[in-house]
Every structure is written in structure tokens, then in C-alpha cells.
Amino acid sequence: MFPTKTDKARDELQGGQRTLSQRERALLLMADGRRSLTDFSPLFASRDEAEQTLRALMNRGYLHDAQVAEPKAALPVSAGPAHTPIPAPAAEPIRVETSTDNFDGKRSLATTRMFLFDICERMFVRRDPKFALQMRDALREARDRDAMLTIAALMLNEVEKAAGAERAESLRERIERLLPPASETVH
């Protein structure tokens, strides 16, 4: 099963509506018809939880199976993957950097997105290329403050596991300084 967003899902991800949890929204952000249940599992505590959430979103009309909806699945597939991950040494430690810079720039979603892309590249590309790819794709789809916060929460959860709570908290504070206030992003 390769779920893809419906119009209802796109409406949910736009500003205004907030009826789903952060993990459900993250799953919607990543659903593009190319990912399967296996790709969504890292977002949840277990594969069963991921499957239940995926099925619930399908039953509620947020997702549909791209292969069922479009019988074009028989089209030839390119010989290689779109993104070839760079192999990394097996036990490479996470680099923990301290940030003493003061950000005085304009708060914006674009600035926040670029910072999150930077975190993704620095902390996940070598350690977990699959997760990095998922987060990059989700960031490309994120269109509002809540979507950015959802992706940031997923990334910070992984940062905390890999580099500790202190590092995750410092990144969380930086993200809060980059994001525009909620009152500025409401239409």
C-alpha cells in the first residue's frame, strides 16, 4: 500500500483546520504515493500503531492507496533510486555543537525550514539516511507554522535519542526564535 493525500488531507495541512494529531499530520505530510507503511513506522512507537493510524486516516478520507486509485502502477520504474544515500561508517557518533550566535534576523517560515534542513543534513543524513529523506520531503511539503512544528517535533525526538535532551532543547529554543509568532501566521 502506497498512500497519497486526498483533497481533505491537503485542506487539513493548510492553515485554519487542525483536527489531527501531530503524528497524523506528519504522516499526511509524508504520504506521496511513493512511501509504504515501512517508511511511516519510524514515526510511531510500533509498526502496529503506524498501521492503525494509516488505516484510520484512510477510513476517514484523508488518504487513499495510490496504486488502487491509479492503475498506472505498471509503468516502468527507473533503474536506480532517486536519492542514493552516502554510506557512513557504522559507529559514527553524533556531532554536538554549541551555538553562541545570536539570531537577530527576521522570523519566517522560510528561515525555519532552512534551519530544519540544516539539522537534517548535519544530524541524520549519515546516521539514518532514510529518516533524513523522509524529513526533507516533509519539509518540502510543509506550508504553515503547525506543519513546521510537527516536523520539528519529530526531528527533535530523534535528536534527543541520539545526542541527549540538552542538545534537543537548545535546538527547540532556536526553532522558537526562528518561527514567526502564531498570531502572524493566522490568515
Which residues, other chains included, contact 1 with Cβ-Cβ below 8 Å and sequence gap of 6+?
36, 37, 54, 65, 67
Q: What's the whole-model pTM score?
A: 0.52
77 DSSP assignment = P
Across 4-16, average pLDDT:
81
Beta carbons of 112 and 179 less than 8 angstroms apart:
yes
The radius of gyration of the chain from alpha carbons, rounded to an integer in Å, stands at 17
Beta carbons of 150 and 166 less than 8 angstroms apart:
no
- 19-47: per-residue pLDDT in tens? 888 788 888 888 888 888 887 777 777 88
**Cell numbers placing 96:** 554536538
Q: How far apart are CA 152 and CA 171, in angstroms?
A: 9
Q: Is 70 exceeded by the pLDDT of residue 139?
A: yes
Quote the Cα angle for 133-123-136, to 5°: 25
**pLDDT at 71 (0 to 100):** 47
Side-chain half-sphere CA neighbours of 84 within 13 A: 3
Across 36-59, average pLDDT:
84
Q: How far apart are CA 39 and CA 134, in angstroms?
A: 8
Least confident of 75-79, 111-115, 144-148: 75-79
Q: How far apart are CA 90 and CA 174, in angstroms?
A: 30
**pLDDT at 90 (0 to 100):** 43
**Cell numbers placing 131:** 529518516
Output the average pLDDT for the chain.
76
What are the C-alpha distances in Å from 141 to residues 25, 76, 181? 11, 26, 20
DSSP reduced 3-state for 75: coil
158: nearest Cα among 187, 129, 180: 129
